């Protein structure tokens, strides 16, 4: 167990639906990152939060949104789902941006049918 | 052309062999991560480097900032080292921690 908890582990849904992925960072970590891993694109950075505030955005679609709550857990919301959104979504956390230790969760596997 | 290029894409070795995986990048960076991903998906950060060399057990990572190149070495390889190894670079500093990833190197170590 890495200390970063992601739920659900697996999710199967239909096109057009909306899902929420949840991440609880390692205790003491204030930074949370979301990444998408698909077969054709590999790993891609989506978005970064630090202590509740958005700090950086990557290739995140407008249909996707995220937030980090006061208890530091984060949620990634994916809406109007398309087949191409099927991927592994990873959350990672750090004590602060640039800290030595970057810890990944086990990932949430999303399948859109 | 990707900002981060890894070679080789696939590598098969016999147990005990010395392994080298290379990563080249085209932009200035402030740090570089080597990640390990086993079948089944979990990702572990092995090293974060901004200069020089780091060693952990049988793993050694080096970086040459001037040449924009990093290598991951595995000594006395073992079947449990079989995994995808991913290089990721950080090309911005401060509180903006946006990683750009290579496509990964699939390592298979046969007994």
Tell me: pLDDT of B6 over 90: yes
Q: How many CB atoms lie within 10 A of CB B35?
A: 24
- Report the alpha-carbon distance of residue A62 to residue A34 in Å, rounded: 15
d(CA B61, CA B75): 11
Instruction: Using an 8 Å CB-CB cutoff, list residues of chain B that contact chain A.
Output: 30-31, 33, 35, 41-45, 48, 86, 88, 90, 92-104
Residue B38 and residue B16 in contact, taking contact as beta carbons nearer than 8 Å? no
B32-83: pLDDT as tens digits: 999 999 988 789 999 999 999 999 999 999 999 999 999 999 999 999 999 9
How much is the pLDDT for B93?
Answer: 61
Q: Cβ of B42 and A42 within 8 Å?
A: no
Q: Is A41 left (phi over 0), alpha (psi -120 to 50) or beta?
A: alpha
Task: Find the CB nearest A43 among B44, B90, B101.
Answer: B101
Inspect the interface and report whether the beta carbons of A48 and B97 lie closer than 8 Å.
yes
Q: What is the pLDDT of residues A16-68, one digit of tens each?
A: 999 999 999 999 999 999 999 998 889 999 999 999 999 999 989 999 999 99
Residue B96 has pLDDT above 80, yes or no: no
Choose the closest CB to B101 out of A42, A50, A56: A42
Q: How confident is the model at residue A104 (pLDDT cuts 50, 70, 90)?
A: very high
Q: Do A100 and B41 touch (CB under 8 A)?
A: no
The mean per-residue pLDDT over the stretch A97-104 comes to 85
């Amino acid at each position: 167990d890495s200390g970063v908890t992601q739920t659900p582990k697996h999710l199967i849904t239909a096109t057009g639906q909306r899902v929420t992925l949840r991440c609880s960072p390692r205790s003491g970590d204030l930074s949370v990152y979301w990444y998408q891993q698909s077969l054709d694109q590999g790993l891609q950075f989506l978005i970064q939060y630090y202590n509740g505030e958005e700090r950086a955005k990557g290739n995140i679609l407008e249909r996707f949104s995220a937030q980090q709550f006061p208890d530091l857990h984060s949620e990634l919301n994916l809406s109007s789902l398309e087949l191409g959104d099927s991927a592994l979504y990873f959350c990672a956390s750090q004590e602060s941006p640039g800290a030595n230790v970057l810890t990944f969760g086990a990932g949430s596997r999303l399948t859109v049918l | 052309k990707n900002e981060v290029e890894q070679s080789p894409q696939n590598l098969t070795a016999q147990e005990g062999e010395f392994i080298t995986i290379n990563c080249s990048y085209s932009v200035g960076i402030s740090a570089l991560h080597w990640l390990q991903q086993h079948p089944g998906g979990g990702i572990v950060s092995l090293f974060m480097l901004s200069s020089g060399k780091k060693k952990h057990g049988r793993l050694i990572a080096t970086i040459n900032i001037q040449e924009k190149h990093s290598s991951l070495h595995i000594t006395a390889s073992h079947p449990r080292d079989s995994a995808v190894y991913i290089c990721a670079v950080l090309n911005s500093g401060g509180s903006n921690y946006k990683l750009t990833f290579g496509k990964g190197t699939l390592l298979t170590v046969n007994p």
